[in-house]
Chains A and B, each alone.
Chain A
Amino acid sequence: GAVVSQHPSRVICKSGTSVKIECRSLDFQATTMFWYRQFPKQSLMLMATSNEGSKATYEQGVEKDKFLINHASLTLSTLTVTSAHPEDSSFYICSAVLGRTQYFGPGTRLLVL
């Protein structure tokens, strides 16, 4: 149980385009999901907290207009990287909360050319 999926697993896009990443809790409902970003050989950095039915809460230094988060249902949160640039290339990982435990998705590798 407590499985989280992400789609796509890998995406390559051109600079200036937007990319949407989906995070789904497959066998449980999650009021709260988190989005992390991980650069090569670095730790995970929390980008934002996604709450179903309300606005996301962004960490300091994360541009909310660039990283749009929508948590439209109890099993789905989406992260849209708008007008992506090469510096946005990274590994994006989501997690969904059940109780107090975060269950992590498999990650999405974004490469912006």
Chain B
Amino acid sequence: ELKVEQNPLFLSMQEGKNYTIYCNYSTTSDRLYWYRQDPGKSLESLFVLLSNGAVKQEGRLMASLDTKARLSTLHITAAVHDLSATYFCAVDKVKSGGSNYKLTFGKGTLLTVNP
């Protein structure tokens, strides 16, 4: 069974500071996703990481993937209040006996950026 663990689950930080959210997964996968969810809203796709060593950046967020360590990180640089949200990582895996790719989500990291 594929397990995805995120830490920390709660993160309170000040504006201007840097921090990293970690995402570990238990079995081999070649695709990892990061999503953002605002309160009462659905998921917004942030990054798709497709290969070992992949690094993607968008604004103050940078995501990386180490498939050998089964680890992805989401790094926040100089946080601003608008980044306050819940961040999920998810890993997909082919369903055994079929062709459907099912996503397994981490528990999410609730990020609060304080002025």
Contacts and interface: CB of A to CB of B under 8 A. Distances in A.
A106 B42 CA distance: 5
B96 to A, nearest CB: 12
Contacts of B92: 100
Interface stretch (A13-21, A40-48, A69-77, A82-90): A40-48
A105 B105 CA distance: 16
| Interface of B (DSSP majority class) | strand
Contacts of A102: 101, 103
A42 B37 CA distance: 11
B103 A105 contact: no
B88 interface: yes
Range class of the A interface residue count: 20 to 34
B100 A32 contact: yes
Nearest to A94: B42
B78 to A, nearest CB: 27
B3 interface: no
B26 to A, nearest CB: 16
A44 B42 CA distance: 10
A103 B110 CA distance: 22
Contacts of A79: none
B88 A97 contact: no
B48 interface: yes
A73 B45 CA distance: 26
A43 B108 contact: yes
B70 interface: no
A101 B43 CA distance: 13
B68 interface: no
28 contacts: A34-B102, A34-B103, A41-B110, A42-B107, A42-B108, A43-B88, A43-B105, A43-B107, A43-B108, A44-B88, A46-B102, A46-B103, A46-B104, A49-B95, A49-B100, A49-B102, A51-B100, A93-B42, A93-B43, A100-B31, A100-B101, A101-B48, A102-B101, A102-B103, A103-B45, A106-B41, A107-B41, A109-B40
